[in-house]
Amino acid sequence: MSISALFNRLGAKLPNVRRSWGSVRDDGTVILRVWRDEFKVLGDNGCFRLTYHSKFTGNESNSGYQTRLEHIQLLEAGAKCYLVNCLAKNVDVMPRAIKEFDDRDLFIGGGLHVDEAGDTWIEMKGRISVFELLNRD
């Protein structure tokens, strides 16, 4: 299954298959790609990085990053969020390409944290299978 097929299955069609980092379902739920190597513990919570300002600020042509900022605004307003866990082919190459991703389980997004560099991270509040999520909604 491709990443775009997974997003379609979740009801969150990617606006641009190549450049989109996430999407929003009709019910307002945000589905985001996150990278396995961009995980750390903040306080008592495991968190995934959502922004990387030092790499993307000033690059207004990057529609994926601009949309990510809009998704964060939705999360700050209380939107539900699920995370697709992705492994990069090469973490040092920009833009990143997906080597593999988990198409069976999603992480449940929780609270947001801003680190000392001003980047936003999202708490991982558990897992849910794609099957369970689709049958719950």
- Domain assignment of residue 99, given as a range: 3-136
User: How far is Cα 24 from Cα 94, in angstroms, rounded to an integer?
Assistant: 24
Question: For residue 97, what are the contacts with CB-CB under 8 A and spacing of at least 6?
Answer: 88, 89, 90
Strand residues in 27-104 grouped as ranges (E): 30-35, 39-42, 45-49, 81-88, 98-101
Instruction: Identify the pLDDT of residue 13.
Output: 95
Contact yes or no for 33/22 (Cβ under 8 A):
yes
User: Does the structure show a pLDDT above 80 at 130?
Assistant: yes
Please compute the mean of the pLDDT values over residues 121-137 and round it to a whole number. Answer: 93
Which residues have C-beta within 8 Å of that of residue 100, sequence separation ≥ 6?
86, 87
pLDDT tens by residue, 65-79: 889 999 999 999 999
Supply the pTM of this predicted model.
0.93
Closest C-alpha to 122, from 87, 76, 63: 76
Q: Is residue 108's pLDDT more than 90?
A: yes
The helix or strand, by DSSP H or E, that contains position 23, with its residue range, turns out to be: strand 22-24
Q: Is the pLDDT of residue 33 over 80?
A: yes
Place of tokens 């589905």: 31
| Structural domains in the chain (count) | 1
In this structure, what token pair is assigned to residue 99? 């080597």
